């Protein structure tokens, strides 16, 4: 039997999220047997437009709209069962079939319970600077995972509620005292861990009744698909700029977002990867604090907001905007072994450029008297070196091939390819699935 079979396509974001990964993932999984979401919780919100309908996803991969694709919530995920059940209901209401036949939950995935969200808020309150506006419980679940405590989907299936008490006993007494104030009597406060364990156990019992048919050991199933030669797509919830190890720490996610980390969290060996598609926006947005080298302010920021209207329903906050940073993108391409690029929002950056008179692209960094072409660990005092490009207007009726793009858009794509050394194989010219130009 084969031990290696390169059938896996990875789809990863190369900036700070919201690059349009869900559209690319949905496209790539249209002819795939499996689509695996490998990491993350319910902290990302992705929307796709398919067959004249808009679908918003938080946990389930967007490829669930592909009728022949089986979606797996992988072992590296942290899943909020309440939110997952609501998402399943919403999709079914919208006419999308969701059942154990096309949605599988790994029994190794972690479980987010209500107290994890309050624990996120508790730890955030202890920090000098707020890092994110998420507080979805995933940060605390991944911290518990590192401490070898907490609930997995296998425990939901088996009814192993001792894992809940075990985790609660590791939490700070301050947090338990705060949480116990919800209980009305002094006696309940004294035994708040026991009370909370019973409350969470009852909740998990309800989750087991509703989710048991979806939960299974997926590793042998994934291996069988690999060795059968069928295509598999693996996606992550975050992007490389927010990777826990190589991203802009501490303003990052609590899980890996690199291509190597992603494939490991899916439970797949690296030699089974056939190609890695890196997704980037034609401009940049950032949902967190910290350094943002190409960030725009003032009137320019207003123009970006007017033409993008980005608003993340997951973090409930406006984005920070910036010009495309090709130094960051080149590093992300190299460090993730990206084999081809997907660049989205070509239409948006063209309109922004028309409104401002030009388009800027960062091609290097200036630090004092030195020029850098890589992103250092400390980005203070870095100034972007910009190349100026002529803006463009997209033709009415859109573009369906690279040749139909305006000259300015082609120059923009060629600059990206020259700087990164990788072909831009997919170009996004609008929000719909049919707005993707595929270069063969």
439: number of CA atoms within 13 Å, CB side?
Answer: 17
Instruction: Kindly state the tokens that stand for 12.
Output: 């990863």
Q: How confident is the model at residue 35 (pLDDT cuts 50, 70, 90)?
A: very high
Q: Does pLDDT of 316 surpass 90?
A: no
Lowest-confidence segment of 112-126, 209-223, 311-325 by average pLDDT: 311-325
pLDDT computed for residue 253 by the predictor: 87
pLDDT of 179 > 80? The answer is no
* Predicted local confidence at residue 311, as pLDDT: 55
Q: Which residue segments constitute the domains of the chain, with CATH numbers given?
A: 8-106+214-276 (3.40.440.10), 114-211 (1.10.300), 281-438 (3.90.170.10)
Tell me the C-alpha distance between 271 and 47, whole Å.
31
- Higher pLDDT residue, 351 or 398? 351
Q: Looking at the predicted structure, is the pLDDT value of residue 52 above 70?
A: no
Q: 3-state class of 423 per DSSP?
A: coil
The average confidence (pLDDT) of the chain is 89
Report strand pairing: 46-50 vs 53-57: antiparallel
Q: How far is CA 294 from CA 131, 140, 326, 382, in A?
A: 19, 31, 10, 10
Task: Give percent of the chain with pLDDT exceeding 90.
Answer: 67
Tell me how far apart the alpha carbons of residues 243 and 192 are, in angstroms, rounded to a whole number: 36
Residue 417 neighbours by CB distance under 10 Å: 13
Query: Is pLDDT larger for residue 198 or for residue 424?
Result: 424
Looking at 28-42, 58-72, 369-383, which range is the least confident one? Answer: 369-383
* Per-residue pLDDT, 238: 86
- Choose among 345, 342, 349, 296: nearest CA to 319: 296
pLDDT number for residue 251: 84
Q: What is the CA radius of gyration of the chain?
A: 23
> Which pLDDT value is given to residue 54?
61
pLDDT at 125: 83
Torsion of CA 427, 429, 433, 437, to 10 degrees: -40
| Distance of alpha carbon 436 from alpha carbon 426, whole angstroms | 7
Residues near 213 by beta carbon (within 8 Å), at least 6 away in sequence: 100
pLDDT in tens, 194-253: 888 888 999 999 999 999 999 999 999 999 999 999 999 999 888 999 999 998 888 888
- In this predicted structure, what is the pLDDT of residue 315? 52
Query: Can you give the pLDDT at residue 99?
Result: 95
What pLDDT is recorded for position 348? 96
- In eight-state DSSP terms, residue 439 is P
Alpha carbons within 13 angstroms on the beta-carbon side of residue 17 total 27
For residue 188, give both structure tokens.
């309940």
Give the pLDDT of residue 172: 86
- 409 or 123: which carries more pLDDT confidence? 409
Place of tokens 């669930």: 64
Report percent pLDDT > 70 for the chain: 90
Structure confidence by residue, pLDDT tens digits, 364-380:
999 988 898 888 887 77
Q: Which residue has the higher pLDDT, 68 or 52?
A: 68
DSSP state of 64: G
Helices (H) and strands (E) in the chain, counts: 15, 20
- Is pLDDT of 50 > 70? no
d(C-alpha 110, C-alpha 39), whole Å: 10
pLDDT band at residue 289 using 50, 70 and 90 as cut-offs: confident
In this prediction, residue 318 carries a pLDDT of 66
Using CA of residue 184, residue 189, residue 191, residue 193, what is the dihedral sign?
positive
pLDDT at 193: 82
94 neighbors 53 (Cβ within 8 angstroms) = yes
User: What average pLDDT score do residues 56-66 get?
Assistant: 87
Q: How far apart are CA 10 and CA 4, in angstroms?
A: 16
**pLDDT for the residue numbered 397:** 77
The SS3 call for residue 236 is strand
Q: Rounded to a whole number, what is the distance in angstroms from the first to the last CA of the chain? A: 33
């Amino acid at each position: 039997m084969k031990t290696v079979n390169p059938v896996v396509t990875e789809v990863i974001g190369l900036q700070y999220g919201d690059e349009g990964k869900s559209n690319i993932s949905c496209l790539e999984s249209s002819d795939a047997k499996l689509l695996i979401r490998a990491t993350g919780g319910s902290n990302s919100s992705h929307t796709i437009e398919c067959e004249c309908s808009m679908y918003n996803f938080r946990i389930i991969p967007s490829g669930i709209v592909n009728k022949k694709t089986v979606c797996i919530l992988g072992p590296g995920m942290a899943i909020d069962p309440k939110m997952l059940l609501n998402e399943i209901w919403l999709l079914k209401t919208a006419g999308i079939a969701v059942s154990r036949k096309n949605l599988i939950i790994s029994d190794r995935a972690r479980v987010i319970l209500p107290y994890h969200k309050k624990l996120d808020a508790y730890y955030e309150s202890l920090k000098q600077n707020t890092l994110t506006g998420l507080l979805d419980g995933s940060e605390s679940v991944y911290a518990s995972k590192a401490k070898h405590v907490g609930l997995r989907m296998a425990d939901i299936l088996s009814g192993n509620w001792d894992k809940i008490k075990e985790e609660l006993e590791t939490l700070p007494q301050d947090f338990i005292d705060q949480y116990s104030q919800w209980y009305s009597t002094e006696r309940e406060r004294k035994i708040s861990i026991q009370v909370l364990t019973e409350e969470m156990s009852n909740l998990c019992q309800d989750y087991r009744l509703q989710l048991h048919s979806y939960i299974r050991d997926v590793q042998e199933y994934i291996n069988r698909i690999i060795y059968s030669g069928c295509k598999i797509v693996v996606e992550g919830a975050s992007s490389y700029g927010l990777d826990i190890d190589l991203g802009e720490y501490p303003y990052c996610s609590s899980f890996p977002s690199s291509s190597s980390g992603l494939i490991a969290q899916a439970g797949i060996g690296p030699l089974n990867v056939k190609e890695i598609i890196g997704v980037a926006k034609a401009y940049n947005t950032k949902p967190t604090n910290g350094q943002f080298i190409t960030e725009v302010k003032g009137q320019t920021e207003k123009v970006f907001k007017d033409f993008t209207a980005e608003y993340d329903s997951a973090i409930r906050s406006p984005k920070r905007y910036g010009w495309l940073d090709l130094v960051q993108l080149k590093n992300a391409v190299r460090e993730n072994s990206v084999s081809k690029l997907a660049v989205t929002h070509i239409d948006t950056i063209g309109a922004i450029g028309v409104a401002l008179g030009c388009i800027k692209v960062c091609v290097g960094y200036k630090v004092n008297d030195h020029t850098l072409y890589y992103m250092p660990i400390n980005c203070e005092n870095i100034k972007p070196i910009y190349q100026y490009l002529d803006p463009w207007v997209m033709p009415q009726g859109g573009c369906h091939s690279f040749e139909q793009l305006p000259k300015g858009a082609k120059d923009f794509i060629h600059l990206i390819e020259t700087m990164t050394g990788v072909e831009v194989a997919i170009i996004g010219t609008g929000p719909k699935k049919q707005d993707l130009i595929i270069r063969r």
